Structure 1
Amino acid sequence: MVEKQTNDVLVSFRGVQKSYDGENLIVKDLNLDIRKGEFLTLLGPSGSGKTTSLMMLAGFETPTAGEILLAGRSINNVPPHKRDIGMVFQNYALFPHMTVAENLAFPLSVRGLSKTDISERVKRALSMVQLDSFRNRYPGQLSGGQQQRVALARALVFEPQLVLMDEPLGALDKQLREHMQMEIKHLHKRLGVTVVYVTHDQGEALTMSDRVAVFHQGEIQQIASPRTLYEEPKNTFVANFIGENNRISGRLFSRTGDRCVVELARGEKVEALAVNVGQTGEPVTLSIRPERVLLNGSSEACTNRFSGRVEEFIYLGDHVRVRLEVCGKANFFVKQPIAELDPALAVGDVVPLGWQVEHVRALDPLLETV
């Protein structure tokens, strides 16, 4: 990756660690640069360290070791309200006894702005989230989506250089959540503010972000653009956590440059990209996305060609997931757009299938979790 100029970096985590009990590190040696104006998402399962990292940046938690820099200066000992950071939480954290306009005015009056200035900024923030006509309502009179918009406007009203969002859409239903994802994304583009967003929802991370940092057990496994993470995962954890993934276990048979041959349990051989493999004879996991597997005649030109028995069809509207038994593995999925599905295909059919070398990645062996 090309090194960005230092003056493009707004936030730097340097060797940051966090432990609550002095023994177990929730965040282990975090080194991360966040660029000015970018939308960076911290993604990972519960307990992976993503929210703790966000809370240290906000000032609600103190690093056990290491340093956090904001615009070039250390903020380890700067209290939260002096960090010039906006925050949006899942539970909105609005003041119930204040109207929408008063909620938005609060962070401005705390900062000592004049009445005229406050009124002007509140007006601007309300129109930004299309809530002009709701200024005199109380949070209790608003829907969840409207409350989340107010929380968003309040985080942006004092024009901070950085906005932190912790699972802000977690309480909303699917349709509203997807609508708000686009709203936040468009607001970010319009304002050019730097956003650090925490979620465990991979779809949300892929939809909204410029870059995504995938956390697991207190460490960043990979940080990249959504497309790179999905198409080029660096290890088995990232491949499994981002999107759907077929995993086949085997052993490294041979390697030539960035290509390798993997031998499966029953002796079949698969040619793959050697991404994260050890020595010949050592176990590896093959990773193949369901939409990259070709069925029937489409598979004729594939280097890796096998046959599979159709076990089940799962109908999902615009596409169908076909579950097959392939190479002794019963849960091998192929994703087919409705328009491309062969209507004659039936459960029990044995069909040829295949995938290109560039779509199968040889990664570290999967540690089976009980």
Structure 2
Amino acid sequence: MAETQASDVLVSFRGVQKSYDGETLIVKDLNVDIRKGEFLTLLGPSGSGKTTSLMMLAGFETPTSGEILLAGRAINNVPPHKRDIGMVFQNYALFPHMTVAENLAFPLSVRGMSKTDVAERVKRALSMVQLDAFGGRYPAQLSGGQQQRVALARALVFEPQLVLMDEPLGALDKQLREHMQMEIKHIHQRLGVTVVYVTHDQGEALTMSDRVAVFHQGEIQQIAPPAELYEHPRNSFVANFIGENNRIAGQLQSRDGDRCVVSLARGEKVEALAVNVGEPGQPVSLSIRPERVRLNGHSENCANRFSGRVAEFIYLGDHVRIRLEVCGRTDFFVKQPIAELDSALAVGDVVPLGWAVEHVRALDPLPAA
């Protein structure tokens, strides 16, 4: 991919670190460029540094070292209200004593906008989140989903160049959350505003983002478009954090370019992509997605073939997860669409299975659990 032009970059983190006690770094050395119009998600477990990074960008936290640039200007010492940034939080933070329209008008009034312009912008923002008829209501008269839409409209009403969202859908139920994910994604596409979004929900990150930055222990492990992150994880943390993943411990036997051979504990050999490996003799972990494993006759042409004993079926509506005992592991999963499931398959059956070389990745060994 071509290098991002400086004029395309809206936000730059340069060598940013954050420590609260002068010893432990919550954010270790953050260097990332966020492009204009991009939807970038910061994803990671709690305590990984993603929210702290967002709060430094918002101005609610100050970097211990390094600098943050917004549109080419260092903003380390610019107070939050002067950064031209819209914000949406999980708890909505709407003013309960103001109507929906007054809530939306507030950020415009404090910017000294005329009443006519305010009314026009509020009308447009309500329409954008499909709440045209709700301007006269108070937050308490709205459902959780409607309140979150108002919070979204309020963050967008003054047309900021950047909108930050911190777990904005965390309090909503699953169905509403999925609906709102699409709403936010479509609004982003229509407006072309830059969005930096924080979540620990990998499904949400994959669904909504142009790129995802995976955080772990204060560092970005990988930053890439969703499909690349899922199909081509760079290390074992990313492989395990994004999506479901079978992992098998082994030892690197030999390497030839981007291919390698890994020997397993019981003497089996696996041919894999060499993604993040050391020298022959060193430990590695193999990563295979459950949907990439072929069963029975479908496994005949696979370079890596084994047999597995069926231990359990887990029915999930549109697909079934089959737990097998494979290569000495009791928790090896295969994911099959209902339409492809062999109805004769039963617990206790020993079946052939396999996977192609391009679907198994040799990565750094996992830390002991």
Q: Under TM normalisation by the shorter chain, which class is it?
A: over 0.9
Aligned pair 1:53/2:53, yes or no? yes
The answer to whether structure 1 residue 143 and structure 2 residue 118 are counterparts is no
CA distance in 1, matches of 2:328, 2:157: 58
Is 1:90 matched up with 2:90? yes
For residues 258-299 of structure 1, the C-alpha deviation after alignment (integer angstroms, 9 at most, x for no partner) is 000000000100000000000100000000000000000000
- SS of the residue corresponding to residue 154 of structure 1 reads helix
* Structure-2 residue corresponding to 1:74: 74
Task: Give the letter aligned to residue 199 of structure 1.
Answer: T
2:26 aligned with 1:11, yes or no? no
Aligned-partner SS, 2:21? coil
- How far the C-alpha of 1:133 sits from its partner, in A, is 0.7
- How is 1:1-370 mapped onto 2 (pairs within 5 angstroms)? 1-369=1-369
Normalising by the residue count of structure 1, what TM-score does the alignment of the two structures yield?
A: 0.99
Cα distance in structure 1, aligned partners of 2:368 and 2:131:
50
- d(CA) in 2 for partners of 1:19 and 1:118? 41
Unaligned stretches of 5+ in structure 2? none
Shift of 1:132: 1.0
Identical-pair percentage: 88
What RMSD, in angstroms, separates the aligned Cα atoms of the two structures? 0.4
Counterpart of 2:185 in structure 1: which amino acid? K
Write the letter of the residue equivalent to 2:315. Y
Q: What's the secondary structure of 1:107's corresponding residue?
A: helix
Helix, strand or coil at the partner of 1:53: helix
Q: Displacement, 1:3?
A: 1.1
Counterpart Cα distance in 1 of 2:306 and 2:25: 45
Which one-letter code corresponds to 2:49 in the other structure? G
Q: Give deviations 1:121-141, integer Å, cap 9, x for gaps.
A: 000000000111110111011
1:350 Cα deviation (Å)? 0.2
Question: Number of residues paired by the alignment?
Answer: 369
Inter-partner Cα distance in structure 2 for 1:50 and 1:249: 29
- Within 2, Cα distance between the matches of 1:289 and 1:25? 33
Deviations 1:39-73 (A, max 9, x none): 00000000000000000000000000000000000
1:242-263 CA-partner distances (Å, limit 9, x unpaired): 0000000000000000000000
> One-letter code of the match for 2:166?
D
User: How far apart are the structure 2 equivalents of 1:122 and 1:368?
Assistant: 54
Counterpart CA distance in 2 for 1:161 and 1:352 is: 55
SS at match of 1:213: strand
- Amino acid aligned to 2:293: V
Q: Distance between the aligned counterparts of 2:102 and 2:340, measured in 1? A: 55
- State how far apart, in whole Å, the 2-side matches of 1:281 and 1:130 are: 60
Partners of 1:225 and 1:174 lie apart in 2 by 24
Unaligned runs of 5+ in 1: none
* Alpha-carbon distance in 2 for matches of 1:3, 1:282: 35
Amino acid at match of 1:259: R
Separation of aligned partners in 2, 1:132 and 1:302: 57
Q: Secondary structure at the match of 2:76?
A: coil
Q: Kindly provide the amino acid, as one letter, of the partner of residue 278 in structure 2.
A: G
Following superposition, the deviation at residue 75 of structure 1 comes to 0.3
Tell me the SS of whatever aligns to 2:277.
Answer: coil
The whole-number CA distance in structure 2 between the counterparts of 1:67 and 1:210 is 24
Structure 2 CA distance, aligned partners of 1:185 and 1:309? 43
Following the alignment from structure 1 to structure 2, what is the Cα–Cα distance between the partners of residues 96 and 65? 38
For 2:137 and 2:20, the matched residues in 1 are separated by 41
Q: Once the 2 structures are TM-superposed, how far is the Cα of residue 156 of structure 1 from its aligned partner? A: 0.1
CA separation in 1, counterparts of 2:64 and 2:4?
28
Instruction: Give the superposition deviation at 1:2.
Output: 2.7
> d(CA) in 2 for partners of 1:309 and 1:319?
19
- Deviation string, structure 1 residues 51-98 (Cα, Å, up to 9, x no partner): 000000000000000000000000000000000000000000000000
**CA distance in structure 1 between the partners assigned to 2:28 and 2:227 by the alignment:** 26
SS at match of 2:28: strand
- Distance in 2 of aligned mates of 1:143 and 1:100: 13
Deviation at 1:368, TM superposition (A): 1.9
**TM-score computed with the length of structure 2 as normaliser:** 1.00
Which stretches of structure 1, 4 residues or longer, exceed 2 Å deviation after superposition?
none
SS of equivalent to 1:271 = strand
Amino acid at match of 1:215: F
